[in-house]
Amino acid sequence: MTAPATPLILYNSLTRAPEPFRPIDPANVRVYSCGPTVYNYAHIGNLRAYVFTDTLSRVLRWKGWPLTHIINITDVGHLTSDADAGDDKMEAAARKSGRDIWAIARHYTDAFKRNLKDLGIAEPTRFPLATEHVPQMIDFAKTIESKHCYRLPDGLYFDVTTVPDYGRLARHQEDEGESRIDPVAGKRHPADFAIWRASAPGEQRQMEWDSPWGPGAPGWHLECSVMSKQYLGAQFDIHTGGIDHREIHHPNEIAQNQAHSCTPDSGANIWMHNNFLVDRTGKMSKSSGEFLTLQALMDRGFHPLAYRLMCLQAHYRSEMEFGWDGLAAAQVRLKRLVQTVEGLRTRADAPEKGDAASYRERLDVALSDDLATPRALPVLDEMLGDKKLSPGVRLAALADFDATLGLQLSTLTRADLRTRPKTATLGESDIEEQLVERRAARADKDFARSDAIRDTLLAAGVEVMDGDPLGWDWKPVLPEG
């Protein structure tokens, strides 16, 4: 089989242009993705960021590049504002809940990893924890201190005027920073940021380390410079994050990298950013405490891969609006795909006919164009429905789509997709029992009995689907959004 040979084009936020991807070392492509701050569950917007990085890493692997992929876990240092204002999110969560900060970090890290698994996101090479890299952060800071930093009573600050082009990634205007409301007194430039946050006298943080600048905790941006350098080298291939990181976090990482390497190099050849998932009802802010988790979708009877499909239907650089109707539509689309594949499976030993190479090529063309998943999905539909190809050929071709889109269509079954809402009172076997009884009633022309069973099921959130063209016996009634 020919390798997917279309040149891969990726949009580089640094140049604001699509660029051909040229690996530094084709035997080991290196990707770093900013990970979650584990003071709470990830919301489905955060998870969109990892569906995007997973698509990226799947496409890179599929196109023949072995990959080292790092997703860090921010378990210290991220303040309630991305600029240096407010409290440490982890410390604040611990204080509010009265729980041990380390236990909080562990709990939400595990929950995050479970989310990734449920979404079919391939495990990265490593999930390094910020708290396990504090000595390396202190060393990094010591290296850049004399030329690039200055001290204030509350810590060590980075002077952004000491590196070339500060804020090029964000396209900061010269005067923009000046007008920012500056929460830290004494900063030389409003965009200067904390490298080390010294604990206030008399204050005892739960997470605290000794340093040349007094006991305290590292500034948030430092961990990504340190961990990406440690695991991927000073200059690696791709750095990803949500679009919010293009404004503060990534420009600050770049400034630190430039200071440390004494070069104008940003640290990564390509910086990629996914756009936001928005929910007009305002339920997408972790700090407001009201937000949608993957578990909340599952509790309503949605399969996590329906959410993955919903994400793939939008291009990662487009804003995506969340709505229950959209999610329900994605779940129906996923069911149809599964139904089609199951149909093919029953006819898998029909004589082989046709060649699916052109579909592979079209998939490659779509994904190589800056991961255009919305264009890849119709290719999948067309391939599955192509009667010129025998079922076996179509099933074999599915492997390429599963490898890149991660929808697990080769193994997913209709039964998997019939997830029940948390509020469900009837189990699958109860439903089957009732349906058997109803079929018997209908055979006896006892329509009153059959209608009564239908109504009872409906009251329990199960809709009977007589004559469904896809052959489903029933579906869960999804609650209103």
Structure letter (DSSP) for residue 11: E
CB atoms within 10 A of CB 382: 11
Among 13, 37, 225, 419, binds ligand AMP (CB under 6 A): 37
Within residues 294-313, the interface with ligand AMP by CB under 6 A covers none
**Residue 303 is assigned to a ligand binding site:** no
Q: Which residues bind Zn ion (CB under 5 A)?
A: 34, 224
Query: Binding partner of residue 68 among ligand AMP, Zn ion, none, CB under 5 to 8 Å per kind?
Result: none
Q: Which is nearer to ligand AMP, 305 or 320 (CB)?
A: 320
Q: Which stretch binds ligand AMP (CB under 6 A): 18-26, 32-40, 229-237, 455-463?
A: 32-40
- Cα distance between residue 402 and residue 55, in whole Å: 11
Query: Binding partner of residue 266 among Zn ion, ligand AMP, none, CB under 5 to 8 Å per kind?
Result: none
Does 36 participate in binding ligand AMP (rule CB under 6 A)? yes
Does 90 participate in binding ligand AMP (rule CB under 6 A)? no
Closest-CA residue to 411 (of 326, 344, 342): 342
* Sheet hosting strand 155-158, strand order edge to edge: 149-152, 155-158, 193-198, 216-218
Closest-CA residue to 151 (of 96, 119, 195): 195
**From the CB of 201, what's the least distance to Zn ion, in Å?**
30
Nearest 5°: phi and psi at 239? -120, 130
Closest-CA residue to 32 (of 55, 61, 53, 58): 53
Structure letter (DSSP) for residue 382: H
Q: Which stretch binds ligand AMP (CB under 6 A): 4-12, 41-49, 145-153, 441-449?
A: 41-49
Compose the 236-275 pattern: x for residues touching ligand AMP by CB under 6 A, - for all others.
-----xx-xx----------------------------x-
For helices 357-368 and 391-405, the axis angle rounded to 10 degrees is 20
Q: Which is nearer to ligand AMP, 249 or 303 (CB)?
A: 249
Beta-bridge partners for 29:
67
User: Residue type at 92?
Assistant: A
Query: Binding partner of residue 284 among ligand AMP, Zn ion, none, CB under 5 to 8 Å per kind?
Result: ligand AMP
Positions touching ligand AMP (CB under 6 A) are 34, 36-37, 45-46, 48-49, 74, 241-242, 244-245, 274, 276-277, 284
Summarize the annotated binding site for ATP as residue ranges.
286
